[in-house]
Structure 1
């Protein structure tokens, strides 16, 4: 595209100059009246016009060649001779040769088409950066967030802004291919399906056992029996027997392998047998070996590790490794009602590649348990309100302010923030934070995390909380030329 300004004394002369320079294919972009001033006291000396015009040299040359070739009559004769296929082919080749190299050039984009599509992938990267911020705010670890966003970016189209539907489909496909979700309990044969639940103390294994038993009895019309190995806690055993009497679900308490085999034999006509085990702490290896030994002797069909959803990332990994001797092959996350940050769940699923089958929270039986689907898992870390397609602005993230409930206010927030367009990080109560646009905010859980990403502390709010060693480390790297 060639653009040029033409100055003339009137519009007629200006248009004549444009036509002479650019030809009939010129496009007038603007025209304005001009008054020239004299050198003496700014007096008006002469009026005129300035015309801004443009032309596309490639398209102009192409049009000229088409016109000259059409005037020779070759195109008409070639098209009229329908029976001579070879002649038509040769004349078509001649026609294309006449166009020359211009036919291989991409036509220039019209002036009005400039915008987000001028640089392919910019809107996608902008969108994915915002989604990555949401993942980080939910507690998803930075390496995992990068891995997820990288895979999602490869699956999206390379230009334009993806719609909310396209984003959801892409994330869903990622979850499906990673096999992060286990099928719910289903009895396929005629023999009873035996399910065992293991996990740490206090995560709600007994309550979860009752929820599943009652749900399958009432909703699936299964014949269900419960066996508990937890004969230590009198209160838990009493509560289990109470539920058994109310729901008419048989329940037996056992303490060794012989009693466990006998209980299973007495329930051989059941469709589903739930085995509840005692909670085991990280330092109680003998009890873990006892539980694992009992389960090994009866070989349950499925073993679930139950973890509380507010458990820290490091503890979740520790429990996952600790209970491997029980042979668990799927997960249940409990107490979802006691937290609003679920990134630790996603971290564990990605790192260990063990699928999750159920989510549970609350004490209502059996309503407060549900099988996991792609939508429920996606909604934990990327709610539907986040994947909103704003067709006017081309944005796909909703950043509306969320008013916290009293329960949510008790959850600790990220303590430090930074502007992605700056190199300074602040405490979240610093007055400078209010001037950062919400789309540019980056969250850090601690000072070390911020400084490891080469952000510098705000002198107004952060310096008094910083270990001098953390400040010296980046200075040493800078002195060594590693920045």
Structure 2
């Protein structure tokens, strides 16, 4: 079977595209409505409908190339193992049911079909898991921290996702294990007690803290601290529903070309909201993600999907409130393990 994703303004247009390209025998695997997004000043992209469809034969796409060489099954087959289904289809069924990004599943399905034809192993399911593990690791980019030159890191995202706590964990980690040439900066002058909270941590870690009320002031603070190895910038939480507030934050974080913006995402946020958050915060250049609250859920597929959708590195994983213990550098094997454990294999 062949799988393809269609994007349209409404469900009627999406189904029309499916019928025109795949025919009336096509199976609808899933439908999803995406939220509108601000693409730039005065440019708004409306909400769209995404439909994933399948057909049990090759089809010709509008670009002239054959559709994805993958597998699909009727909706009723997704609730359990149906007698007689090939082993590779059962395996892909589990992955698709877990909510993995369709394009990732399509590519994996091609590899599994090719692998199955060439392999002589009897334990195909275990071999497929090994292939999935490898593909998960290949899909994740992790940066290598280096202090050959001064680093300027900011932490951005919605409210209540652990930006300040993450900054403090990293400050403590680097202060204890790497360098004491660290300075803290906060632009969060909106939240009551925010500056005082960070000031207490700065005193405990014996690190300098400065407050920037305006973009130009932030620029001056960065210049004054140019001899530091690491500058960590705390920012106020911004609502994705208010693009203007994100634009104001962008004014701060574009005053220096070397600011690296880490977008903080909570593991407890659902897939569609994560996609919406990332899309809105793309008004600010994003250097990498940091995933927080990984101890509050076991469903990590939505987080992984953002790495596939928006193709940015993942730098750190955090849990709990302990400083600096509850933070770890992201690694390819660790992320793959998290996703594999989130899939219901039984």
TM-score, structure 2 normalization: 0.67
Q: Give, in whole Å, the separation in 2 of the partners of 1:297 and 1:329.
A: 16
Greater helix percent: which structure?
Answer: 1
Aligned residues: 262
Shift of 1:205: 0.8
State the superposition RMSD in angstroms. Answer: 2.8
- Aligned residue in 2 for 1:95: none
Tell me if 1:369 matches 2:330: no
Q: Give, in whole Å, the separation in 2 of the partners of 1:370 and 1:301.
A: 22
- Aligned residue in 2 for 1:267: 225
Instruction: Tell whether the 8 Å contact from 1:152 to 1:174 is kept in structure 2 after alignment.
Output: no
Which stretch shows the higher mean deviation, 155-164 or 231-240? 155-164
Q: Deviation string for 1:289-313 (max 9, x for gaps)?
A: 1110111111234211111112121
Q: Determine helix, strand or coil for the equivalent of 1:382.
A: helix
* Aligned residue runs from structure 1 range 61-460, under 5 A: 126=87, 128-136=88-96, 138-141=98-101, 144-154=104-114, 157-162=118-123, 170-178=131-139, 180-189=140-149, 192-383=150-341, 399=346
Instruction: Assess, with a 3 A threshold, how the Cα gap between structure 1 residues 297 and 142 changes in structure 2: closer, same or farther.
Output: closer
Q: Determine helix, strand or coil for the equivalent of 1:234.
A: coil
Instruction: Assess, with a 3 A threshold, how the Cα gap between structure 1 residues 165 and 248 changes in structure 2: closer, same or farther.
Output: farther
Shift of 1:332: 1.0
Shift of 1:262: 2.1
Q: Which runs of 5+ in 1 are unaligned?
A: 1-123, 387-396, 400-483
Instruction: Assess, with a 3 A threshold, how the Cα gap between structure 1 residues 143 and 172 changes in structure 2: closer, same or farther.
Output: closer
Q: Which runs of 5+ in 2 are unaligned?
A: 1-84
Instruction: Tell whether the 8 Å contact from 1:334 to 1:360 is kept in structure 2 after alignment.
Output: yes
Shift of 1:240: 1.0
Instruction: Assess, with a 3 A threshold, how the Cα gap between structure 1 residues 222 and 149 changes in structure 2: closer, same or farther.
Output: farther
Q: Give, in whole Å, the separation in 1 of the partners of 2:262 and 2:248.
A: 17
Shift of 1:129: 4.4
Q: Determine helix, strand or coil for the equivalent of 1:275.
A: strand
**Greater relative contact order (Cα 8 A, min sep 6): structure 1 or 2?**
2
Q: Which has the larger radius of gyration?
A: 1
- Aligned residue in 2 for 1:114: none
Instruction: Tell whether the 8 Å contact from 1:343 to 1:381 is kept in structure 2 after alignment.
Output: yes
Q: Give, in whole Å, the separation in 2 of the partners of 1:243 and 1:165.
A: 48
Instruction: Assess, with a 3 A threshold, how the Cα gap between structure 1 residues 269 and 340 changes in structure 2: closer, same or farther.
Output: same
Which stretch shows the higher mean deviation, 258-267 or 225-234? 258-267
Instruction: Assess, with a 3 A threshold, how the Cα gap between structure 1 residues 349 and 152 changes in structure 2: closer, same or farther.
Output: farther
Q: Deviation string for 1:167-194 (max 9, x for gaps)?
A: 565335424543x2221432223xx111
Instruction: Assess, with a 3 A threshold, how the Cα gap between structure 1 residues 125 and 264 changes in structure 2: closer, same or farther.
Output: farther
